[in-house]
Amino acid sequence: DPFSDDPDRNPALITMTAKPRNAETPTDAMTADFLTPNDLFYVRNHMWVPAVPDDPGKHTLTVELDDGTTKEYTLDDLKTRFRAHKVTAALQCSGNRRKHMSEGAGRKANGLPWNVGAISNASWEGVLLSDVLADAGFDVASGLAGTSEAKHVQFSGLEAYGASIPMKKAVDPQGDVLLAYAMNGQPLPRDHGFPLRAIVPGHVAARSVKWLSHITLSDEESLSQWQRRDYKCFGPNQTHVDWETAPAIQEMPVQSAITGCRLGAWTRSQGKLAQKAVLSGYAYSGGGRAIVRVDVSLNGGKSWCQAKILPDCTTNDGASSPCFGHGSWAWRRWTYDGLVPVDAFKQVPDKKGTATATFVVKATDESYNTQPESHAATWNLRGNLATAWHRLEVCSDC
């Protein structure tokens, strides 16, 4: 059993599959904290968790340049020879909210039926990939200018997972791509890549390769199925797809979800009965694009109100802000306090006395990208990038 050495996990995680381990953050813990506690961070493993090296400090990372020269770094080398760098970044699986896509479109998408919890947020510490590439002898300026022969940086993990990112992202001084050895001030947990992983902020989490052991500069993308197949998107009509010509998912689109919802007392508002409601959730966009607005509807999208975005990253005292990095790599938490008018509730015909309302959230990023209304419009075979308005059906008095 290759999984016999997998680590113990917090039983509060919602397990989708045990071997390999795939589990989402429990909904009530999703946005309880701005930084997801390490033991509640969602887990997405394609295979087993590689064994802990006898001496983690001696774990070696091999960097291979496009001229074939290689250089090796132990974890101790990385920690002692390079400047430490911190980045606060959310990781989101391309399959987050796939369940909603299958249900919303009435058409099953392939893959694990994740709910809202295949996204989490953490503060990562490590060294900059570009610093290590420069030390290994790569001309970072040529990578940035797009004139280097190497156009991609390929990452390989100890258990054979692999993926790549474009060179421009890898060496962008604003890109914050890390070789990380710590998460929220602790050594990386085994499930999250101990002793070393890539963190590619703003990109699909599939590129943040765990248990990192090799970096290869190449004119080609990684040959792995996770680069060439699984993490690509097609149109709703495409069931016979051309894998070769479809680009691999890199930067993420804008996303949001409701993760907390409490209905309170009935009251009167403008002469009508209404029920108090408190909603909360997250919003996130890829590419370092900031979230500029979160809209909430309590009546299925007929009318909208604005949610309050929590000031997690913009405290007056900049020194104590938990957000590190050049882009808006972290998620934003939001809350909304409102009144649900009685006519937003609909009686459920076959359940006597039961009435439901549909709450909705959508977010807008700084490029004014927003989420599509329906999953039908973006349904795809692999169920990737399910970002349609998150609708939550809530029940009054039940």
Would you tell me which residues interact with ligand MTE (CB under 6 A)?
41-46, 91, 93, 157, 159, 161, 191-192, 205-206, 208-211
Amino acid at 370: T
Strands 84-92 vs 119-128: parallel, antiparallel or unpaired: antiparallel
Q: How far apart are CA 25 and CA 210, in angstroms?
A: 19
The smaller minimum CB distance to Mo ion, of residues 138 and 282, is found at 282
Residue 42 touches which member of ligand MTE, Mo ion, none, C-beta under 5-8 Å by kind: ligand MTE
Residue 192 touches which member of ligand MTE, Mo ion, none, C-beta under 5-8 Å by kind: ligand MTE
Q: By C-alpha distance, which of 166, 126, 132, 13 is closest to 64? A: 132
The smaller minimum CB distance to ligand MTE, of residues 85 and 197, is found at 197
Q: Which helix (H) or strand (E) holds 103?
A: helix 98-105
Residue 45 touches which member of ligand MTE, Mo ion, none, C-beta under 5-8 Å by kind: ligand MTE
Among 13, 29, 49, 93, binds Mo ion (CB under 5 A): 93
* By CB under 5 A, residue 206 contacts Mo ion: yes
Residue 345 touches which member of ligand MTE, Mo ion, none, C-beta under 5-8 Å by kind: none
Residue 43 touches which member of ligand MTE, Mo ion, none, C-beta under 5-8 Å by kind: ligand MTE
The smaller minimum CB distance to Mo ion, of residues 93 and 196, is found at 93
Residue whose CB is nearest to ligand MTE in the complex, by number: 157
Question: Tokens 């996204």 appear where?
Answer: 119
Among 6, 34, 42, 44, binds Mo ion (CB under 5 A): 44
* By CB under 5 A, residue 289 contacts Mo ion: no
Q: Smallest distance from the beta carbon of 382 to ligand MTE, in angstroms?
A: 12
Number of residues in contact with Mo ion, rule: CB under 5 A? 3
Other Cβ atoms within 10 Å of 167 Cβ, number: 25
The smaller minimum CB distance to ligand MTE, of residues 35 and 205, is found at 205
Q: By C-alpha distance, which of 105, 155, 99 is closest to 132? A: 155
Helix residue ranges, H only, 174-294? 225-228
Q: Smallest distance from the beta carbon of 211 to ligand MTE, in angstroms?
A: 5
265, with CB counted inside 10 A (0-12, 13-18, 19+), is: exposed
Per DSSP, 203 falls in state: B
* By CB under 5 A, residue 212 contacts Mo ion: no
Contact present, 355 and 345 (Cβ < 8 Å): yes
* By CB under 5 A, residue 91 contacts Mo ion: no
Interface stretch with Mo ion, choices 43-51, 191-199, 270-278, 355-363 (CB under 5 A): 43-51
Q: By C-alpha distance, which of 137, 169, 174, 135 is closest to 153? A: 169
The smaller minimum CB distance to ligand MTE, of residues 16 and 323, is found at 16
* By CB under 5 A, residue 99 contacts Mo ion: no
Residue 41 touches which member of Mo ion, ligand MTE, none, C-beta under 5-8 Å by kind: ligand MTE
The smaller minimum CB distance to ligand MTE, of residues 65 and 91, is found at 91
Residue 208 touches which member of ligand MTE, Mo ion, none, C-beta under 5-8 Å by kind: ligand MTE
Q: By C-alpha distance, which of 3, 42, 46 is closest to 160? A: 46
**What tokens appear for 325 in the block?**
């990095």
Q: Smallest distance from the beta carbon of 295 to ligand MTE, in angstroms?
A: 27
Instruction: List residues bridging with 390 in a β-sheet.
Output: 361
Q: By C-alpha distance, which of 282, 304, 298 is closest to 358? A: 298
The smaller minimum CB distance to Mo ion, of residues 210 and 391, is found at 210
Binding site for Mo ion (CB under 5 A): 44, 93, 206
